[in-house]
Amino acid sequence: MSKLYIVATPIGNLKDITLRALETLKEVDFIACEDTRHTQKLLQHYHIQKPLLACHQHNEKRSAQGLIKLLKEGKDIAYCSDAGTPGLSDPGAFIVAVCLHEEIDVIPIPGPSAFASLISVAGVPIHSVRFVGFLPQHGSKREKALLKFLEQQDAFLLYESPYRVDNLLQMLHLHAPGRFLIVGREMTKIHEEFLRGTAEELILLLKKRKLQGEFSILVASSPES
């Protein structure tokens, strides 16, 4: 029976891909991916040639039908998002749900994750953590969402773009000035950096840096929790 493989790919350093992921990408009949240009760079680095199928958040429902057709014809397919583990603030969940509904086997090929990478170097005790991913981009919904997670007192992890990270830190400074933050940027890349401190301290630090790439931000548990 054909299978859909959910393959985690590097978040930056191409050497972080697992042996099993490479083996899977070499053996499947097709590779579905969030951005064919991005995935093609990874495949070229490892001299892998496979037909690529675009399956991203804007066409996920439509492209899922084509993938199901191929799977029912006996073709094995790997799915990769641009970086990290599919389905974790990335496309992938819909095609998995459709495959499960059609009783097609879905196999995880675990590997890199910005979420797990930041927690591993946080240096603070974490008994439980909530994965939030991206907040709404604008307006009152953004602030209300942040306040909801702050009220729960537990640690939570956010992703943010370089264009909105200052706004996020400003909101954290306003509503939770005492919470300790761990920020990871350019993780596994040449300019990898981890910053720790309050929102006010991090605002000052980031003013001295050229902001690029997505940020991962761990908001530690409230001291009172």
Q: Which runs of E-coded beta strand occur in 12-71?
A: 30-33, 52-54
**pLDDT confidence of residue 224:** 63
- Please list the residues that pair with 109 across neighbouring strands: 7
pLDDT given at position 33: 93
Residues of the chain falling short of pLDDT 70 = 224-225
Whether the CA torsion 110, 114, 120, 121 is positive or negative: it is positive
Residue that is written with structure tokens 């890349």 in the block: 189
pLDDT of residue 209: 84
pLDDT tens digits, 43-64: 999 999 999 999 877 777 788 8
Give the pLDDT score at 75: 97
**Model pTM score:** 0.90
% of the chain beyond a pLDDT of 90:
80
Residue 50: partners with Cβ closer than 8 Å, 6 or more residues away:
25, 26, 28, 29, 30, 31, 43
Tell me the sheet residues that pair with 5: 78, 107
pLDDT at residue number 125: 81
Over residues 87-129, the pLDDT tens digits come to 888 888 899 999 999 999 999 999 999 999 999 999 988 888 9
pLDDT of residue 114: 94
